[in-house]
Amino acid sequence: MTDSLYLASTEQVTGGIEIARQIVEILRTSYDRVGVFRPYYNGTPEDDVIVKEFNAGYGTARDHYFEDEASAMNAIIRAYRKYSLDYDAVLVVGHTQGDPVNPGLISRSGRTAANLGTTVAIVADGSKRSVERTAGYIDLAAAEMSGAHVPVSAVVVLQAQDGIREEITADHPEVPVFTDRIDESILEVFKQKPTIRTPLVFQSELMERARVQRRRIVLPEADDDRVLQAASIILTNDVSDIVFIGDEKTIRERANNRGYNIDDALIVDPADPAYLSRYVPELARLRAKKGMTEEQAAEKLKDLSYFATMMVHMGDADGMVSGANHTTAETIVPSFQIIKTKPDTSIVSSVFLMLMADRVLVYGDCAVNTNPTPAQLADITVSSAETAIQFGVDPRIALLSYSSGASGTGADVEAVVEATRLAREKNPDLLIEGPIQYDAAVDPNVARKKMPDSPVAGRANVFIFPSLNAGNIGYKAVQRSSGVVAVGPILQGLNKPVNDLSRGALVDDIVNTIAITAVQAQN
C-alpha cells in the first residue's frame, strides 16, 4: 500500500510550496518512486502551480467541488487510486499558497483526506498570532479535521515564534511539530495508516474489486429506467458485463431515448429456442418432485425472474439483480427453487452493509427470515461473517439481545445463548459474543462495565439480530436517523449470487448492488 500524507494549509500562507519541496526531497532519499497529487487544481491542470512544478497527478477543478461535492470526490478518488498505483509514496498537496480561501476549507480538506485514506499535516502561519493563540488555532483546526474522522499526524508552523513547538505538543504530545524546516522524521509520518473507510472509499473499492475479475450480471427489469441508467454506469466504468432479458429493439431504443449507453450489453430474447431448449428440461428436472412437467416449465419461464434465475443456474450469467419493480418473493423464491443453498448452509439469509462515516458495519438478518431457530441463527452468523470478510470487514460478531452475558433470562435470551454456542462450534476461529446488548457491543465504556473480558464487546462490527422484526426496525432506525448509507439486502447462503432491490431503490443503490453481486460471483 502506498505511503501518503495530505498537506493542507488552514489559511492563506506563504511558504507552503517550499514545504512541499522539502518533503519531496526527503522522500526521495528513502523511496524509489515518489509522486505528488493535487486533488483540486486551479483553472486548468496546465495552469496550476503545483501540477506544473511537480508534474503532479490531479483530481478535478476546484470549482467542481462547489458545483457537486459528491461528483468531485468520486473523480478525485478514482484519479488518486489510479495514480498512486505507480508510486511508493505520494504527497497530496491540498490547499496551499495562491489557492483561494473559501468557507469550510478545513472540513473540506478533512473529508478529502478521509476519502483518499491519508492522514493530514496541518500548515499554519505563526506570524499572525501569539504563541498561545496559534496553538489554540491548531487545536480548532485539528478538532475540525477530527469531525471528518481523519487524524492529524503532523503540524507545520511557518514563520514560527519561539516556544510554539512546546505549546502545541503540550496538547498534542504524539504529533511532531515542524517549524519552517522539515526533517527526516517526516518519513515516520508517511508510514501512518488510518483505518477510515468512508462510504465513497467503500464504493470505490467495490468497483475496483468487481473490475479485477469481470462477471456477467443479468438484469430482468429492462423496462425500468433506473435499471437502464445503472447498467449504463456499470458498463461505462467497466465494472461488469450486463445481460438484459426482453426485446432487443425495444430495450435499446428506450435506453438511447433517455441517453443511457448500453451498447455493450447482451440482450436475450426469453423466447429464444437456443435458451429454452436447455432451460425447459432442466427446470422440469429440478422441480420434478413437485410434479412439474416440461409444459409447466415452459410456462414458468415466461416469468422473467425465473428465466433470469435459470440463466445463472445454467452458467449463462454469474449473478442476478432484480426487485426494482418486483416483490422480494418474486425475486428470491425462484432462487430457492433453482439455485438452492450451499451444502453447509441450512438457510438463505441477508445482510445490509451499513456505510458509516468512517467504517463499515454489517447487520443481519434484516430482510428474509422472520423468527430463525438457534441453529438457523448460527448459520446466519457464520454466513454474515463470510460476507463481511468478502467486503473487507474483519468480523467481530455480536449476537444481539436485551441481555448481556448472564444478566438476563428467558426464552429469547436462551435462544441467543444456544445460537452463540452453535456458531462457535461451526467456526471456532471467529470472534463471537452473545448474548450482548447493542450498547455493550459498540461502546467501549459500556463494554468495560458489562463485559470487561470480551474481545468483541465495545468493538463489534457484525451485528446479528434475533428476529426479522428487530433487524428490520434496527437497520431502518439507524439509516433514517443518522443518514448512514445502507447497502442491501445482500443475500447469502445461495450457491450463486442473487440480490433483491428495494422497489424504491435509487440508481446508486442499483449500481452498488450490481457491483456487490459481481464481487460475490468471483468466489
pLDDT for res 103: 63
pLDDT for res 82: 86
pLDDT for res 411: 85
Q: Nine-digit cell at 411?
A: 426464552
Return the CATH architecture of domain 201-338: 3-Layer(aba) Sandwich (3.40)
Q: Domain boundaries in the chain? A: 3-196, 201-338, 349-493
What are the pLDDT tens digits along the chain (523 aa)? Answer: 789 999 988 777 767 888 899 999 999 999 999 999 999 888 888 888 889 989 999 999 888 877 888 888 888 988 998 898 899 999 999 877 766 666 677 888 888 898 898 889 988 888 878 888 888 888 888 888 878 888 888 989 888 888 888 888 887 788 888 987 899 999 998 988 877 788 888 888 888 889 889 999 999 999 989 999 999 999 988 899 999 999 999 999 999 999 999 999 999 999 999 999 999 999 999 998 898 899 999 999 999 999 999 999 999 999 999 988 887 788 888 988 899 888 878 888 999 999 988 889 999 999 888 999 999 999 999 999 999 998 889 999 999 999 887 766 788 899 999 999 999 999 999 999 989 999 999 999 999 999 998 999 999 999 999 999 999 999 999 988 887 888 888 999 899 999 988 777 888 889 989 999 999 999 7
pLDDT for res 250: 94
Residue with cell 447493542: 438
Class of domain 349-493: alpha beta
What are the residues whose beta carbons fall under 8 Å from the beta carbon of 342, sequence distance 6 or more?
493, 494, 495
Angle at CA of residue 503, ends 498 and 506, nearest 5°: 90
Distance (Å, rounded) from C-alpha 10 to C-alpha 326? 51
Check for a shared fold between 3-196 and 201-338. Answer: yes
Distance (Å, rounded) from C-alpha 140 to C-alpha 384? 40
How far, rounded to the nearest angstrom, does the alpha carbon of residue 483 sit from its chain's CA centroid?
15
Collapsing DSSP to helix, strand or coil, 440 comes out as helix
The 3-class SS string of 444-496 reads HHHHHHHCCCCCCCCCCCEEECCCHHHHHHHHHHHHHHHCCEEEEEEEECECC
pLDDT for res 438: 93
CATH 3.40.50.300 for domain 3-196, yes or no, is: yes
Q: How many CA atoms lie within 13 A of 165 on its CB side?
A: 7
